[in-house]
Amino acid sequence: MEVHTNQEPDDSELFEHHRVIASQGQEPLRVDKFLMNFIENATRNKIQQAAKNGNVWVNGTIVKSNYKVKAADEIRVMFEHPPHEFLLVPEDIPLDIVYEDDVLLVVNKPAGMVVHPGHGNYSGTLINALIFHTDNLPANSNERPGLVHRIDKDTSGLLVVAKTEAAMTHLSKQFFDKTSEREYVALVWGNVTEDEGTITGHVGRHPKNRLQMHVFPDGEDGKDAVTHYKVLERLGYVTLVSCKLETGRTHQIRVHMKHIGHTLFNDERYGGERILKGTTFTKYKQFVDNAFKVLPRQALHAKTLGFVHPVTGKSMSFNSDIPADMEQCIVKWRNYSHNSTEV
């Protein structure tokens, strides 16, 4: 399976080009449904509109959205989206700033906020808010102003932002050298039997669903990834755990915990939005559905962030409270596990 994406400017518009080669085992599937598995934030309507505009090709021929993809097909799609300058418009969005000085700031990102603009998310991102708050943020290696690291849209918690080139270089090196401290709190399905442990296994794109990451235990693909976990509280059919990152791969905690059989609670991308543990009793199903409504996202919060200040050399550590939606969900499970005879 091959997937390529790039962006090429036209005279007045910017386009996103995606190329996917279907695997040899690909069963026949409509091209609009097929592409939804490979292009993040691309809705079926968006793909169908691209096909209507003649911007979906299979093996070099324009196709309609009902074309059935077959094994080894080469699929190309082109999306129009706003120019790069539009993506970086400053927006007056409130920021929860935990710390700030002349060279950096630490922000507590709410769940639901995308960190940087991209396909399907052209405004309302953390970067839009940051460039309104601070002028002349330095760009990282991906041309994203101020970002030293990132967290997923539906993950809440702490991020450090560089305000100078020197701070960007210094902080980025700490993350690369694995000397920064990053602790997350997660609610996962099942009873994690070991009180603590370490998960290893390379993390890379899933060979069949490019919107997911996948663990390659033998290191045959992906990049090395190490997560240290510790049980904080056992709540019957779910467990509250602390996860400390030694590396920082995309979706690392989400895919590592799934790999050991403990998918994050309500993590839709990895199957955690289904009832994975528990009973068949109707009351239990109603309870879990209510818990999903209380926490309509994956149960993951970046709680602790530590690093050495790039100018003073002082060790700095920051903590953030578990947000209300996740705390409320934890309390519901705590009450259920204490009061139920089913657990």
Per-residue pLDDT tens digits for 216-226: 988 778 899 99
Residue extent(s) of CATH 3.30.2350.10 domains in the chain: 85-176, 181-339
How far is Cα 261 from Cα 259, in angstroms, rounded to an integer?
A: 5
Q: Exposed/middle/buried for 12, CB within 10 Å: 0-12, 13-18, 19+?
A: exposed
Q: What is the pTM of this model?
A: 0.78
- Give the tokens for residue 186: 């997660």
pLDDT confidence of residue 110: 97
Q: Which residue has the higher pLDDT, 221 or 67?
A: 67
Under the banding of pLDDT at 50, 70 and 90, the label for residue 38 is confident
Task: Please name the residue that has the structure tokens 């309509």.
Answer: 296
Question: For residue 78, which amino acid is it?
Answer: M
* Residue 142 in this model has a pLDDT that exceeds 80: no
Q: Which of 73-82, 263-272, 304-313 has the lowest mean pLDDT?
A: 73-82
Q: Compute the average pLDDT of residues 79-107.
A: 84
Residues 150-163: what's their mean pLDDT? 96
* CATH class of the region 85-176: alpha beta
> Would you say domain 181-339 falls under CATH 2.40.160.10?
no
> Is 63 strand, coil or helix?
coil
**What is the model's pLDDT at position 256?**
97
Whether residue 11 lies in the annotated active site: no
What's the pLDDT score for residue 81? 60
Residues of the chain within CATH 3.10.290.10 domain(s) are 2-81
Residue 50, both tokens: 């691209």
Res. 343 pLDDT band, cuts 50 70 90: low
Per-residue pLDDT, 253: 97
pLDDT bin (cut points 50, 70, 90) of residue 143 is: confident
| Summary mean pLDDT of the chain | 89
The candidate with the shortest Cα–Cα distance to 79, out of 46, 102, 117, 109, is 46
3-state secondary structure of 144: coil
Mean pLDDT (whole number) for 104-125: 87
Task: Indicate the pLDDT class of residue 90, thresholds 50, 70 and 90.
Answer: very high
In this structure, how many other beta carbons lie within 10 angstroms of the beta carbon of residue 289? Answer: 11
Tell me which of 11, 73, 135, 152 is the catalytic residue: 152
**Domain covering 2-81 in this structure, CATH number:** 3.10.290.10
Determine the pLDDT at residue 17: 79
- Asked if the model's pLDDT at residue 209 lies above 80, the reply is no
pLDDT greater at residue 37 or residue 279: 279
Residue 83: predicted pLDDT: 53
Least confident interval from 53-62, 79-88, 302-311: 79-88
Q: Beta strands 196-200 and 315-319: pairing type?
A: unpaired
**E strand intervals along 190-340:** 196-200, 202-205, 213-216, 226-234, 238-245, 300-308, 315-319
Higher per-residue confidence, 46 vs 275: 275
